Amino acid sequence: MAQSEPLEDDVGSQQHRYMRMAIEQARKSPPKPTNFCVGALLVDEAGPAGAILASGYTLELPGNTHAEQCCFQKIAQAHGIPEDQIGNVIPATTVLYTTMEPCVERLSGNLPCLERVLRITKGGGQVIRKVYTGVKEPSKFVNENNCEARLKAAGIEQIHVTGFEDAILAVATAGHEKQGP
């Protein structure tokens, strides 16, 4: 039997707590056959417990938005600044939790989420230094996602939070046609 939740002794970990919260965000995404339902959180890793700066889910905001994009846009709107300047207002200890690794290509023509992460800088340095992911992006829409290599090249660590793969993929593919028997 496939495991869809971490073992009981792992339940208390912060990583698992935030990934469960990201999955709850993903469940709010309207299911469509043309996108994945993804949830994301921006968290101040050095802040007090529960220091969530922003949350988001696929299609939460107008314009074919992705979960990470919604987080960034909410921070920008709250501070009255362009999205590419949020690095100036979020803590240097901000991390990203996302149920699916950030996309590297947008078929809609929107800026890919990986590019959005990479442009969050302050004084020329990356602000987001860690990205926690639940699953790699399936190749349904984009054949190869080289997100992990590009994050690493930028000095950003990608950490896979294990134990949620089945639950994440079940939510992510809601609204997709089922393949096979």
Rounded mean pLDDT, 39-53: 89
Residues in the chain: 181
- Which tops the pLDDT comparison, 30 or 180? 30
Q: Are 8 and 163 in contact (CB under 8 A)?
A: no
Phi, psi angles (nearest 5°) of residue 151: -65, -45
- Which tops the pLDDT comparison, 137 or 148? 148
Question: Domains of the chain by range and CATH?
Answer: 8-172 (3.40.140.10)
Q: What is the mean pLDDT of the chain?
A: 88
Q: What is the pLDDT of residues 49-93, one digit of tens each?
A: 768 999 999 999 998 999 999 999 999 999 999 999 999 999 999
Candidate list 5, 8, 60, 68, residue with the active-site label: 68
Q: What is the DSSP letter of 164?
A: -
For residue 68, indicate whether it is catalytic: yes
Q: What percent of the chain has pLDDT over 70?
A: 88
pTM: 0.88
